[in-house]
Amino acid sequence: MAIKKKDFSSIKKKFSASAKFKQQKFFDLGPDFLDAVGVPGPALGHLNMLLGHSDTGKTTALIKAAVDAQKKGILPVFIITEQKWSFEHAHLMGLDCEQVVDEESGELDWEGFFLFNNNFEYEIHCLNLIIRPRLN
């Protein structure tokens, strides 16, 4: 079966070749990521999802992007769906975070310039708290 080529010249005429697009900015994940994927890292101002098999570097890429975001003064937001997150590992990779101890319970936690959530019930609860005042 032969593939028929279509003439798109009439469609191309409707769009300007001189249209200016907003310059894209990316988080820098290093030259190896650029070579493998073709872009420097996740795009700034976009929702980025990293997909792949287990142990393929998704969390490492996430942490490198978060470190770069912190350096640029951008608040990284982590929504973790796998239970393999380690603040110790993130801290070793350069994430600006500090381990703190709750004086009442003795529970260990991490503080820093980031938002972290690995409990989706908590996120839904927070969204409800944010939305309710606007509805009243």
Q: Could you write out the DSSP letters of every residue in 53-75? A: STTSSHHHHHHHHHHHHHHTT--
> Is residue 133 over pLDDT 90?
no
Q: Which residue has the higher pLDDT, 85 or 119?
A: 85
Rounded Cα–Cα distance for residues 116 and 105 (Å): 20
Amino acid 4: pLDDT:
55
* Confidence tier at 91 by pLDDT (50, 70, 90): very high
**How does pLDDT run across 93-124, given as a tens digit for each residue?**
999 999 889 888 888 888 888 888 776 554 44
Tell if the pTM clears 0.85, that is, is over it: no
Predicted confidence (pLDDT) per residue in 61-70, tens digit: 989 999 999 9
Domain residue spans in the chain? 26-42+57-135
- HSE value, Cβ hemisphere, 13 Å, CA-based, for 59: 16
Provide the β-strand partners of residue 97: 112
